[in-house]
Amino acid sequence: MGFIKYFKEEIQIIKERDPAIHSIFEVFLYPSFNAILKYRVAHRLYKWKFYFLARLISQRTARRTGIEIHPGATIGKGLFIDHGHGVIIGETAIIGDNVTLYQGVTLGGTGKEKGKRHPTIEDNVMISAGAKVLGSFTVGENSKIGAGSVVVNEVPPNCTVVGIPGRIVKRDNIKIPRTDLDQVHLPDPVLNDIERLKKDNEELREALLTIQKRLDNK
């Protein structure tokens, strides 16, 4: 991909997904723009088996941007890393098109696997701030991972995952739009469980009061 074409695509991606941008020249200041551009160069060198040079570019970029992308990772079009400090993408990670990552996201391994050690992220996935996706499984297209979640198991398409460990709290056949970047309004399975327990407790209390009244009237 030529630099001009890449630059135009990055402008469009950032304008779509970051309301803070006011000028196209600001694109040059974005850590994600610089990190992904340098990744493209390092990845090509990695494929040509210039491993040391590829890692050198990768590590220098990580020090400058706070975004560490292993040159062996496979990344599609339209990746947007918002802010990006602390983002880590492992060697065997595969990222599809139009994926959004927020700061502190890790696409890592568990330390127990060989070969393909890192996750595959399919198209149109959003992974919120601080989330950790660990292992050689797939996160299906159009899925959302909530902030701070730790995902260690397969995620089917069109799902919302939250919690530690990550649990699927929403799954349907409705496609999540690429511009749906809401990190806040996600289901809370713990709160739902508490509300259910409160309701069950209230029903039990009402039943006990009814029994007590009947006994008192005898």
pLDDT in tens, 14-58: 777 777 777 777 778 888 888 998 999 999 999 999 999 999 999
**What DSSP line would sit under 28-53, residue for residue?**
GG-HHHHHHHHHHHHHHHHHTT-HHH
5's CB contacts (< 8 A; 6+ apart) are: none
CATH number for the region 3-187 comes to: 2.160.10.10
**Residue-range domain boundaries for the chain:** 3-187, 188-218
Query: The tokens of 133 are what?
Result: 């996706």
pLDDT in tens, 80-136: 998 888 999 999 999 999 999 999 999 998 877 778 999 999 999 999 999 999 999
pTM (global) more than 0.85? no
